[in-house]
Structure 1
Amino acid sequence: MIGEEEVLSSLREIAGRHDPVPPAVLAAARASLAWRDPDAALAELVRDSLDRLIAVRGGTPRVLTFLGGAMTIDVQVTARGGGVDVVGELAPVVAAKVVIESPGGSHETAADSEGRFRVEGIAAGPVRLRCEPLVEGAFVPLRTEWVQV
């Protein structure tokens, strides 16, 4: 008699051979496991200019606003070449490390003295931002929800 584990193993092998999980899906799943900071607050997407645009011409920037606790993150995303450029601003202004995470990797920068930051050449796809204060007690570390850019 064939055991349950043997049947499941055979099914996994068949499914993996004939209908493999796309690499982008696997990368996104692995990236989602990276959120293991229970102290980080979640910043919710509260505004997306794409919701108001009917037809988008190439190069038209998309504006996203995330809100988490007392922190607002405004982000402008512009498609360029095969990727996107991200320009953002933190309010209130605070010294912070800003990391843009994607299944393809992370891009780190810092907000300047006016709360602004910029990262160029990010691969199009799912991304989220992580803001970490450089001053203890400035605000709780913050992560945005994943968004498709």
Structure 2
Amino acid sequence: MPPDWTDDARLLADLRAALAGAAEVPEGFAAIGKSAFAWRDPDARIAELVEQERAALRDDAAVRAMTFAADGLGIELEITADALLGQLVPPGPGRVELHEPGGRVTAVDADDVGWFTVRHRPAGLFRLAVHADGGVVVTAWTRV
């Protein structure tokens, strides 16, 4: 039997039930989605995570080192308790930006041999944007 759409109370109850799922968005989910579009460069090359080393041989062990690679640039990253230490490969100067959900950006310079230190360790998701040799390389969103 088709629903009785002349019953306003029933119609309102059905609409409330349909919209109830919209209120159940996980905390931080909307901020992550907004931050994905907050910084865009259509000419940026995407660096993929190609290697990840964990501190111990457990699935839940903290990530200790990561290597990202894009066409022509590698980013080697070591994660400490309070910082990100890294090097651009091939070595050379550049600007490294740490992007976090919610729009927080921490920028540092890489020296002539590509070394950089970000004196802020992200708590969860992050990505790097590297400006070097006249181009931009962006890592995928990655979780520490």
TM over 0.5: yes
Counterpart pick for 1:79 among 67, 78, 81: 81
Output one character per residue of 1:91-138: Cα deviation in whole Å (capped at 9) or x when no partner: 1122211001011411111101221111123331111100012xxxx2
Cα shift at 1:29: 0.8
State whether structure 2 residue 51 is matched by structure 1 residue 47: yes
Q: Is the 8 A contact 1:61 1:79 kept in 2?
A: no
Paired residue for 1:63, among 62, 65, 74? 65
Asked if 1:99 corresponds to 2:97, the answer is yes
Structure 2 unmatched runs, 5+: 7-11
CA contact (8 A) 1:95 1:110 kept: yes
Aligned to 2:128: 129
| TM-score, reference length from structure 1 | 0.75
Task: Tell me if structure 2 keeps the 8 A contact 1:61–1:78.
Answer: no
Instruction: Please say which structure displays the higher CA radius of gyration.
Output: 2
Residue 117 (str. 1) matches residue 116 (str. 2):
yes
In percent, how many aligned pairs have the same letter? 29
Q: TM-score, normalised on structure 2? A: 0.77
Shift of 1:53: 3.9
SS at match of 1:76: strand
| Contact 2:79–2:121 (Cα < 8 Å) also in 1 | no
- Asked whether the 8 Å contact 1:67–1:73 carries over to 2, the reply is yes
Which of 38, 47, 57 is the aligned partner of 1:34?
Answer: 38
Please tell me the residue identity of whatever aligns with 1:15.
G
Structure 1 unaligned residues grouped into runs of 5+: none
Count of residues in correspondence between the two structures = 133
